[in-house]
Amino acid sequence: MLITEVFKKIKFSMNTDRIGPDIPFTHWKLHYKSSMLKLCKKKFLYFDHTADFRAYAYAIYCSQISIGKNVVIRPNTMLFADDFAKIIIEDNVMVGSGVHFYVNNHKFDRKDIPIIEQGYYPSEEIIIKEGAWLGANSIILPGVTIGTNSVVGAGSVVTKSVPENVVYAGIPAKLIKKIT
Ligand SMILES: CC(C)(COP(=O)(O)OP(=O)(O)OC[C@H]1O[C@@H](n2cnc3c(N)ncnc32)[C@H](O)[C@@H]1OP(=O)(O)O)[C@@H](O)C(=O)NCCC(=O)NCCS
């Protein structure tokens, strides 16, 4: 019955380790600063009081995600951690809208069974160091660290770690200039 489903969904929303528009009974809280902060401080591993998590952004395994000082997570961003690997966003990092972070890959070595049944390779942590800037719609893949004060161009796919004070862009992301 619909009413039972609604109550189940409310309970799920309160306890699930995720935030996003697909969790409507907590998602509305992102529209107001005080309720956003209360929700994020409860759900995330760390959420600084100066950070902002905007409506229409998603976070999965919030308890494994740390969001530092002055960080704004904008609409259509996807932070996808898991039980085995964290996503750490340090202080003063800028994240454009629609940036995706993933800490794991599906296994796909076997031909005899579907990928959906093969499990995962070991998950790998993502770290975005202090003061970096991730351009809109960039994708940060498992195991990547973005160095302090580095820039990732819009739409880039970052497959390997990026050193500090550089600009990387493209698919796969490559060095386009050093910040001197
Ligand atoms: C990465 C970026 C900051 C670089 O700006 P810039 O230093 O002025 O770089 P340039 O425009 O001089 O480009 C240098 C080279 O990199 C290439 N390049 C720049 N941005 C690129 C991108 N996002 N993807 C692929 N290549 C890119 C340019 O085509 C150019 O290549 P060329 O030398 O072969 O002509 C900028 O292009 C960018 O992507 N900004 C992100 C904007 C954004 O997401 N805003 C959201 C606000 S939070």
Q: What integer pLDDT is reported at residue 54 of this predicted model? A: 98
The closest-lying atom of ligand 1 relative to the alpha carbon of residue 94 is: 48
Closest atom of ligand 1 to CA, residue 137: 44
Contact predicate 138/123, CB 8 Å: no
pLDDT at position 114: 97
What's residue 146's pLDDT?
Answer: 98
Predicted confidence band of residue 154 (pLDDT cuts 50, 70, 90): very high
| pLDDT per residue as tens digits for the range 11-34 | 888 889 999 999 988 999 999 999
Closest CA to ligand 1's atom 31: 176
Pocket, ligand 1, Cβ cutoff 6 A: 94, 96, 135-136, 151, 153-156, 167, 169-170, 176
Range 21-27 contact pairs with CB under 8 angstroms and sequence separation of 24 or more: 21/55, 21/56, 21/58, 22/58, 27/55
- High-pLDDT (> 70) share of the chain, %: 100
**Tens-place pLDDT, residues 114-153:** 999 999 999 999 999 999 999 999 999 999 999 999 999 9
Atom index in ligand 1 nearest the CA of residue 74 equals 48
Top mutation candidate among 152, 176, 180 for ligand 1, by most atoms within 8 Å of CB? 176
Q: Are 51 and 74 in contact (CB under 8 A)?
A: no
Cα-only R_g, the chain = 17
56-99 pLDDT, tens digit per residue, is 999 999 999 999 999 999 999 999 999 999 999 999 999 999 99
> What tokens does 173 get?
């992301």
Q: What is the average pLDDT score of the chain?
A: 96
Identify the band that residue 162 occupies on the pLDDT scale cut at 50, 70 and 90. very high
In 3D space, the residue among 14, 20, 98 whose CA is nearest the CA of residue 60 turns out to be: 20
* Predicted local confidence at residue 13, as pLDDT: 84
Cα(79) to centroid(ligand 1), Å: 23
Q: What is the pTM of this model?
A: 0.95
**Cα of 56 from ligand 1 centre, angstroms:** 26
Helix, strand, coil shares of the chain, percent, nearest 5, are: 20, 30, 50
Distance CA 119, CA 99 (A): 25
Backbone torsions φ then ψ of 29, nearest 5 degrees: -65, -20
pLDDT at site 107: 97
What's residue 96's pLDDT? 98
Q: Take residue 72 and report the two structure tokens written for it.
A: 């704004």
Please give the positions annotated as active site: 106
